[in-house]
Structure 1
């Protein structure tokens, strides 16, 4: 399912979905939401004024999206219009989608850019993987970068990346980064530091072992780097076709729906990002 609002990034998302549909044969569902802006209350000199509810009509956008997909060769398309809160309607409509695709920045009813609101909310709450599409810095890249921290969701992200690479022939680059905390004992000996590095390298190797045996035809590279994971992934995204992250990792606070690393990557990555649960 692709959310479409006519913005530049929504058109990028539409093209991304078209490529996926042509590659996999999956049908496409396009959703446009007639966004409602709540009434505004105000008053001067004791007089209460209530403005009318504002509705941004998106019905014409569906025809535009359908034509764009047809021009790209995609014919198995259904369209749908809903009215209400954009995020709520998208989440409800995506309940039975295999993946939800949105542009990085869209338009609200007031015409404002929406990174950090719609995209972030969908990445937090959707029950299926969410793809946030933006123009890649390196359009020729054949590398899928995936963040690994040993959590259940990072393993789901790795599985997503490897299965995709199995179909596309791309290389998977598994990156495990960590914030470096130098122990006081390092002043006298390098042993504690070496033990810490070996533990991180072991975590990465164990995470990849099963995938390499189950998907022998996929080229999997790996890097363990003592740099904050969000920085590792954002830097790697400059030469990636896609970055895949779990919705939350080992260090998330109880009840947090989207981890700090995932949020940082969504904001700063230089290619499309997939958030997997």
Structure 2
């Protein structure tokens, strides 16, 4: 999958630095250009002309403070840009007033991005974030391209990395397989294809006939996975597994058990409410994956 332009959303803190580490590694492997995007606090361009006279001095003081923070952000972005170019990665920067996810999405559309990289969403634990989703989750739901999220353990160098790909045989899942193939080729890595037979049953309530049902489903899924290895041109050393359980949790556990360095999953971009009610493998992986997640869009 050709990657020419990567938009990196950064808060200029630890989360943003993690996103940058992944984006730089990807850009070096693909010769892509980075667009480093930061959203400044809203209010800098507001005139506040409708405020009472007595409040305007306070408003002006706030505006000066926001202006100072904006200038500091520009300086930090410039340092990040130079750091990228020091390691041979072309980088552009953008600092705009607005909400982070809207700024990231707007930039991705304007530069025709092939990939968006964002920080770890686990820190979003307040009530608004639980209801509406973190920046990473909001970007994921509306992104025009695939999204790389820097959750879990990061490697300093992804050469030879193992990629766990969740496969449900949908168009989204097949695209995740192709991304896994292409990325593995770029980094001389290995791919493991994982198919999960979904069920909400716990071990204490599992019907006695379930093992036979699972065996029948697995006997059908395994040949399909093996056929994908051939039809999509993956290396003969590609491994396949058929598992059962809640999809997101099972994928994360399997990634840990095989010591995967990246998890690739297909993303349908379903809404927050639907995801809360029905569950979403990609949303679960964003919060609980032991390693970075690439949510793939066709």
User: TM-score band (shorter)?
Assistant: 0.7 to 0.9
2:30 is equivalent to residue 12 of structure 1? no
State which of 84, 98, 108 in structure 1 corresponds to 2:114.
98
Contact 1:245 1:276 in 2 (8 A): yes
State which of 108, 124, 135 in structure 1 corresponds to 2:141.
124
Contact 2:161 2:184 in 1 (8 A): no
Cα distance 1:60–1:227, how it changes in 2: closer, same or farther (>3 A)? same
Contact 1:106 1:113 in 2 (8 A): no
Match of 1:166 in 2: 185
Match of 1:157 in 2: 176
Match of 1:243 in 2: 263
Contact 1:4 1:61 in 2 (8 A): no
Cα distance 1:235–1:195, how it changes in 2: closer, same or farther (>3 A)? closer
2:276 is equivalent to residue 276 of structure 1? no
Q: CA RMSD in A?
A: 3.7
Match of 1:69 in 2: 84
Match of 1:42 in 2: none
Partner SS, residue 248 of structure 1: coil
Contact 1:4 1:102 in 2 (8 A): yes
State which of 193, 197, 211 in structure 1 corresponds to 2:215.
197
**What's the offset of the Cα at 1:237?**
3.3
Contact 1:21 1:28 in 2 (8 A): yes
Match of 2:37 in 1: 31
- TM-score, length basis structure 1: 0.78
User: How far apart, in 2, do the equivalents of 1:133 and 1:153 lie?
Assistant: 21
Partner SS, residue 134 of structure 1: coil
Displaced runs of 4+ in structure 1, greater than 4 A?
49-56, 105-108, 112-116, 137-141, 255-259
Counting matched residue pairs gives 258
User: How far apart, in 2, do the equivalents of 1:204 and 1:246 lie?
Assistant: 19
State which of 60, 63, 66 in structure 1 corresponds to 2:75.
60
**What's the offset of the Cα at 1:81?**
1.8
Partner SS, residue 12 of structure 2: coil
User: How far apart, in 2, do the equivalents of 1:107 and 1:37 lie?
Assistant: 25
**What's the offset of the Cα at 1:218?**
5.7
Partner SS, residue 36 of structure 1: coil
- TM-score, length basis structure 2: 0.73
User: How far apart, in 1, do the equivalents of 2:83 and 2:122 lie?
Assistant: 18
Mapping 1:130-145, distance limit 5 Å? 130-136=147-153, 142-145=161-164
Contact 2:121 2:286 in 1 (8 A): no
- Listed as ranges, the gaps of 5+ residues in structure 2 are 1-6, 47-54
Structure with the higher fraction of residues in strand conformation: 1
User: How far apart, in 1, do the equivalents of 2:98 and 2:155 lie?
Assistant: 37
